Structure 1
Amino acid sequence: MNRAGFLLARTLRLEAPLARLSVPQAELMAELAGRRVALVGNARSLAERDEGAEIDRADIVIRINRAPMPASRTHGTRTDWLALATSIGGADLDRVRPRRLLWMSHKRKRLSWRVASSPGFYLQPLAEWQSLKDALGAPPTTGLMMIELLASSELAELRLHGFDFFASLSLTGSRRADQVPHDFATEARFVKALIARDGRVVQVGAPRGG
């Protein structure tokens, strides 16, 4: 598909042509199998901790949306995958330099040709977004969509950095929890239950007993 065809499909909300731009989910699952994965969220609290070296030691480092990295000491330097649910400018893509881009949002109109035509591009199926939305009773965050996707693979370990479910707000904006369409309390319970039943998943920096 060329750029003109992509723009037409996006404008007319033609899912099938857009889906053909994506690698199959099985390709992601194969790459994840047996690997140690660091998923880096955008909580402001991460900027107060020294987790950068640990993040960079992971086999695969995945960041979210505009992927703020204020210091290597706190956030590390590597980005293997970048999971998106918002538009991103060329300057941010050039800064982060991911080798794979994933579009997780149901809002296809925000998907750019640069992202969709990138090597290894992955498009999250609408049905999977809807299923998670139904389970939560609210639109899922990019982070939770990635946690669910990663946990469904045969990875060896998933370590969550920078996830406090908006307790410290986000490094990428100033909005409060009541100003965004997500249910962070429900997402926190979802992840806590996942950690309880899946010993591969670890929330780094979580309070004891929390």
Structure 2
Amino acid sequence: MGYRAKLGIWQSEMDDRLLVKAWRMIGLNRQKLIAWPRKYLWNAPRGLFYKLTRDSDAMMRAFIDGKSVALVGNAQSLLGAGLGTRIDQHDVVIRMNKGFVTDPASQGTRTDIVTLTPELTEEDVVEKFKPKLFLFLIHRLRHFNIKTPENLKRTAFYAHRYWFADRTKIGRRPSSGYMMISYLLRLNCAKDITLYGFDFGKTPTFYNPVGYQTPHDFHAEGRIIREYVKSGKINLSSPFIGQHG
């Protein structure tokens, strides 16, 4: 990538005021910063550097352009649904967070892109998913824990301005599923996008403990996503198609 292209990406992220926010945090919350675990003090600047100097949108477009995409959510209702073969027939299969394949007949077997969660180490992600591309959706860069050079080359980032727009639209912190849908629509280059394992909170995330309280507003997200389905922007494969509330 040329100098001007990198400068353009840097400026784009500067518009998000990421650097201003970082310096303000250092100046106003010095004690909090010092109290961070040592790994955070290493992860945050590394993550910021890669995010600012990488054309993540171009990486993603090159990967999904003209292809059919399966975005596999983690709703409990997907398990036992028997959609695995349909999922694997897509050109690109995207999985998220701790959505390990526990029921291949329902979840499929392939993973081409995986979104990262701070709850998993780089080794966990590689072992469980064996992805071709890593996607860092989280806006808190202190959680960036990819270190292997080969995996770093295959890591893309979700721009902070996208995250902020999502949060503004929903009125609450967006879920990984919502951000991934938003990103695919922003890139606007996939042949088609089909959602699996999305039921907008009607069943819990299959790997969360009983009684888990989600920080997300699945009702608001579902309302927006259903409008995308109605307009033909995405397809929804779900046992709850057509249900509202």
Which TM bucket (shorter chain)?
0.7 to 0.9
Q: Are 1:128 and 2:197 an aligned pair?
A: no
* Correspondences of 1:26-105 after superposition (within 5 Å): 26-89=58-121, 90-105=123-138
Uncovered stretches (5+) of structure 2, i.e. residues with no partner = 1-38
Q: Which has the larger radius of gyration?
A: 2
Return closer, same or farther for 1:10/1:163 CA change in 2, 3 Å cut-off.
same
Greater share of residues in helix: 2
Let me know the Cα RMSD of the aligned residues: 2.3
- Most deviating of 143-152 and 21-30: 21-30
The answer as to whether partners of 2:56 and 2:158 remain within 8 angstroms in 1 is no
Offset of 1:23 from its aligned partner?
A: 4.2
How many residues are matched?
Answer: 202
Q: 3-state SS of the aligned residue for 2:79?
A: helix
Q: 3-state SS of the aligned residue for 1:48?
A: coil
CA deviation profile, 1:7-34 (whole Å, cap 9, x unmatched): 656446983x131464431221232221
Q: Distance in 1 between matches of 2:216 and 2:159?
A: 20
Which of these residues, 151, 161, 177, is aligned with residue 196 of structure 2? Answer: 161
Offset of 1:124 from its aligned partner?
A: 1.0
The answer as to whether partners of 1:9 and 1:18 remain within 8 angstroms in 2 is no
**Matching residue's letter, 1:141:** S
Give the match for residue 201 of structure 1. Answer: 234
Q: Are 1:173 and 2:173 an aligned pair?
A: no
CA deviation profile, 1:89-111 (whole Å, cap 9, x unmatched): 32342121001000001111111
Offset of 1:78 from its aligned partner?
A: 0.3
Give the match for residue 220 of structure 2. Answer: 186
Instruction: Give the TM-score, by structure 2 length.
Output: 0.75
Q: 3-state SS of the aligned residue for 1:122?
A: strand
Q: Distance in 1 between matches of 2:132 and 2:233?
A: 25
Q: 3-state SS of the aligned residue for 2:227?
A: helix
CA deviation profile, 1:168-192 (whole Å, cap 9, x unmatched): 1011212557x12111100000101
Return closer, same or farther for 1:8/1:61 CA change in 2, 3 Å cut-off.
same
CA deviation profile, 1:134-161 (whole Å, cap 9, x unmatched): 1110000001100011122221111100
Instruction: Give the TM-score, by structure 1 length.
Output: 0.86
Q: 3-state SS of the aligned residue for 1:118?
A: helix
Give the match for residue 12 of structure 2. Answer: none
Q: Distance in 1 between matches of 2:118 and 2:181?
A: 18
